[in-house]
Chains A and B, each alone.
Chain A
Amino acid sequence: MKNLLAFLLTIGLGVLIIFSLSSNTLFPAFGSVDVSDRVSNSYIDKNVLDPANTETIIFGETTDPESGAANIVTSIVVDYRSFDTLGEVTVLFISALGVALLLGSAPKQKRLALNFKPNFMLRVGSRALFGIILMTGVYVTLHGHLTPGGGFPGGAMIASSILLLYLADDQFRAKIKGFKTLESIAGSLYVILGLLGLVVGTYFLQNFLPNGTVGDLLSSGIIPIVYILIGLKVGSEISGVIDNFLTEEETI
């Protein structure tokens, strides 16, 4: 009975997908489009949806372009191809999950002992450097739509600042429960933001906020929000992986 239900559900889903694609006017038939003349140039000129629009994008002057990010890579990664980024975040999540399953399953964990005693100067200096690296990561995350970088490198920088604390202080132990909560909240909010685009606009992860002037910090709609969420998620995820690697089971 259960198998039959699953089979019927699968067939129904397949029929739904095939019918919705075959009757969609936005989705031309296979082979009827020359892909090479619509891909990269349109992404650079920001006229993917409206090829007739040949207005030049000027930094600091153009208002409300199709995709508001000043950085081309960001406008592709988080605007035109945001769904791919969601998949990328999922891949990272699954790898972090695998590490946690393999290394972090024991109930009592103690951190890896360093084979030297960190002195006062090392501890204080690493604390000072920790703030600088953390703020650089936050800066790179926040300015993802203006300068190179974004959520992934920024999150990795935040995680490497945690790693520095682990290296320089033999008593330090991150509060890993908070990281896990932050990670799940950020990941869920990304999906909820995408569903909100589906509700407000027409498709998943649509940029439904106004784009503003190219080059402003508060511009380009949902791109900064998405990048902040990705930065939080990647940062807490990689911090969790580092914590899993640097702790071990308590041997009795």
Chain B
Amino acid sequence: MTLFDVVSIVVSVLLLVIGFIAINSKKLIKGVIFLSALSMLSVVAFVLLKAPDVGLTEAVIGSGLVTSLFIFTLLSVKKEEVK
């Protein structure tokens, strides 16, 4: 087993785990942050799969702009009392 295999297995397992946490987290903001971490890890996966172009775009769009968009939307939404 080469180093490449080990790294790819670790990255794929981490991707699955982080994706699961992102879906299952109770607070929305936590889910958004884990989504950002998922994007960051998928950048590593893209570079391992020899697609640096896609990785660069994913790093900027997925973990930068989309995350900030979600966070700003969450900050703008007013909290209402649930009766």
Contacts and interface: CB of A to CB of B under 8 A. Distances in A.
B12 interface: no
A160 B60 contact: yes
A174 B64 CA distance: 19
Nearest to A160: B64
B53 interface: yes
Contacts of B55: 148
Interface in B41-83: 52-53, 55-57, 59-61, 64-65, 68-69, 72-73, 75-76
A228 interface: no
Nearest to A157: B60
Interface string A16-46: 0000000000000000000000000000000
B interface, size bucket: 10 to 19
Nearest to B55: A148
Interface residues of A, number: 20
B56 A149 contact: yes
A167 B68 contact: yes
Contacts of B69: 245
Interface string A157-170: 10110010001000
Nearest to A238: B65
A148 B52 contact: yes
A247 to B, nearest CB: 11
A242 B55 CA distance: 22
Contacts of A163: 64-65, 68
Nearest to A149: B56
Given A156-B65, A163-B65, A148 B53 contact: yes
Interface string A218-244: 000000000000000000001000100
A160 B72 CA distance: 14
B53 A73 contact: yes
A133 to B, nearest CB: 10
A153 B65 contact: no
A160 B53 contact: no
Given A163-B68, A245-B69, A156 B53 contact: no
A200 interface: no
A246 to B, nearest CB: 6
B61 A156 contact: yes
21 contacts: A71-B53, A112-B76, A140-B56, A148-B52, A148-B53, A153-B53, A153-B57, A153-B61, A156-B57, A156-B60, A156-B64, A156-B65, A157-B60, A159-B65, A160-B64, A160-B68, A167-B68, A238-B65, A245-B69, A245-B72, A246-B72
Interface of A: 71, 73, 112, 115, 140, 148-150, 152-153, 156-157, 159-160, 163, 167, 238, 242, 245-246
Given A140-B56, A150-B53, A245-B73, 12 more contacts: A71-B53, A152-B57, A153-B53, A153-B61, A156-B61, A156-B65, A157-B60, A160-B60, A160-B65, A163-B65, A238-B65, A242-B65
